[in-house]
Structure 1
Amino acid sequence: MLHVNGGMGDTSYVNNSLLQREIISMTCSIAKEAITNFYHQNFPTSITIVDLGCSSGLNTLIVVSNLIKQVEEIRQKLHKKPLEYQIFLNDLHGNDFNAVFRILPSFLEDLKTHIGGDFGTCFFNGVPGSFYARLFPSETVHFFHSSSSLHWLSQVPMGIQNNKGNIYIGSTSPKSVAEAYYKQFQKDFSIFLKCRAEELVMGGHMVLTLVGRLSEDPSKSGAYYIWELLALALNTMVIEGIVEEKKADSFNVPFYMPSPKEVEAEVVKEGSFILNLLQVSSINLNVHKTELSSLIKSMADTDGYDFAKCMQSVAEPLLIHHFGESIAEELFCRHRKIVTDCMAREEIMECINLTISLTKIK
């Protein structure tokens, strides 16, 4: 079961999710526009909002806060009665939901202070389970949101035993590996869309952001550093006999970065949604070049240190499950040095994000 590092430690997701927060900030206007359109078209007395792949920490509640504030701003201008909000936070069973629940009281107090005295009731619920299956009763959800989650597949693709020396689609991966990953993405994303179509009310909206690529060739996506740099670190440990080669060759990540065409094709094929918007955005991870990178550098001992910890906070549970805890510290120490070297050479390191805004039509 995939989950990020819980708790509040040095390598926890809570303390290493600045990149994901920046992605939410960059795509916030799309989610606000979508929920504005829904509210104007329906003027409901209650709204059910679901955050899929919510993870843990403050990032989870940033999305919810932005959406509620947007609706409340419109409601107050139009002098409508207060709404009831039903908020569902979904992630896999291993997620640290307690980290979210602990900050809910203070979050709600801050929200009430910001909105004012006529703020309606807000109900929060945790929903453990895979979003590649049904999670809610039919036609009960008004708005789905997901950020930095849908690039995770339901499983590692079958038939990629020949992906030696790689843990994802690498420059040396056989063509069959890329094909297997794409096939798994098609299957998973199609199931995801079908399930959400059944759960959304007619005219309900969905805004999804996932890591993607610009190249049509997944082996030339330019985002090699996301997994290939970790594979490099792992391979040095194989060469030195610290990790068994057979064990390393059997490890691959359930992750896929689709192109815009691939995402659009699945939406059209499934047929339940209008694609209102498909936007590509990027974040340059190289220090000295963006405000995000400056923040990372100011919080770290060395260039690239925090990006490496960001990767560790997400990938460590997967690696521990496969290899055990004994190699984790050494592996990520080596990975951190490789990332630092790449950033020192000022290699272009971009995170490409695809954001789609959908409306249910049938």
Structure 2
Amino acid sequence: MVSERAQVTNDFNTLFRSLPPDRSYKAFAMPGDFHGRLLPPSSVHFAYSSYAIHWLTEVPKAAAGLKRLYGVERGEVYQAYLNQYERDLEAFLKCRAVEMVKGGIWLFSFLPTCWDPQKEFTIASVIELFRSSLDDMARKGKLSETKLDAFNFPYYIPTPERVWAILQKSNSFSIERIEILKSGTLLTVDGHVACFKAAHQNMLSHEFGAQTIDELFDLFKNKLQTSLVYANPSNDKTLVVVAILKLKNDVDSEVLEQSND
């Protein structure tokens, strides 16, 4: 089963054509927000979520109009994002608990935030550099400073400790294992630009207009290329946290389902 956040450019035909023709399993796509219910109760034995739980249902209302730079978030903005993240992850856990069979396994991975910006970079610091590209575009008059000041990305990149604390509060899942691993991607500059464009192009076109997108990503690429830290893939210190959870056998799925309605 494949579920993705709603994007009009998601090409599920290409996805399904890429699956092996002699596969021993069936596949289907389910549209919708994964923070809500997607599947029938007690229908999933094994679930896997890859680099998805950082997405929020919305930019926190308390952070509206407050600029947020990754790595220096503090005060009202930090607390607003943290509160939103905790609510959304708890909702995600409750929905998956209804959909999974008792004893079912959920494996998920996410990117944590931590780095030494003078010597290395991670996905979180690349996001900060991307935000600086948006600031440069506003200074050039290529996009609205008013719109940019009101704009924040609808995701929160947590620390492993923060996710651990939320998981420990869950009455539905037991934590079987959590490991922090070195990511093996080592993306080049072109790779980072391609990933960011795939994930953000529709969102930014909607906010600032499609005519600004190519120049924005050219600027972003130039920033990456001219930085000694970012230009060398060996400086990529991105970590990945892999967690394995198990649905408790004493969970009452009917009670959980009613609490989600």
In which range does the TM-score fall when normalised by the shorter chain?
0.7 to 0.9
Aligned equivalent of 2:153, options 250, 253, 258: 253
Q: Distance in 1 between matches of 2:95 and 2:34?
A: 8
1:245–1:170 Cα change, 3 Å: farther
Aligned to 1:178: 78
Q: Which structure is larger by alpha-carbon Rg, 1 or 2?
A: 1
1:275–1:308 Cα change, 3 Å: same
Q: Which structure ranks higher in relative contact order (CA pairs < 8 Å, sequence separation ≥ 6)?
A: 2
Alignment of 1:264 onto 2:164: yes
Assess if the C-alpha contact under 8 Å between 1:148 and 1:210 holds in 2. yes
Q: Distance in 2 between matches of 1:180 and 1:143?
A: 33
Q: Distance in 2 between matches of 1:313 and 1:133?
A: 24
Alignment of 1:127 onto 2:44: no
Q: Distance in 1 between matches of 2:207 and 2:102?
A: 43
Superposed CA deviations along residues 175-218 of structure 1, whole A, max 9, x for unmatched, are 21111111111000000001111111110000000111258xxx
Aligned to 1:192: 92
Q: Report the TM-score when normalising by structure 1.
A: 0.62
Runs of 4+ aligned residues of structure 1 deviating over 6 Å after TM superposition are none
Q: Distance in 2 between matches of 1:93 and 1:161?
A: 23
Aligned to 2:257: none
Assess if the C-alpha contact under 8 Å between 2:3 and 2:31 holds in 1. yes
The correspondence of residues 189-268 of structure 1 with structure 2, limited to 5 A, is 189-214=89-114, 224-268=124-168
The Cα shift of 1:147 comes to 0.7
Alignment of 1:337 onto 2:250: no
Q: How many percent identity over aligned positions?
A: 29
Aligned to 1:90: 3
Alignment of 1:352 onto 2:239: yes
Q: Distance in 1 between matches of 2:234 and 2:246?
A: 39
5+ long unaligned stretches in structure 2: 116-120, 252-261
Q: Distance in 1 between matches of 2:245 and 2:209?
A: 41
Aligned equivalent of 1:305, options 174, 190, 197: 190
1:305–1:318 Cα change, 3 Å: same
1:334–1:153 Cα change, 3 Å: same
The Cα shift of 1:101 comes to 2.3
The alignment partner of 2:85 has SS state of: helix
5+ long unaligned stretches in structure 1: 1-87, 112-120, 216-220, 285-291, 298-303
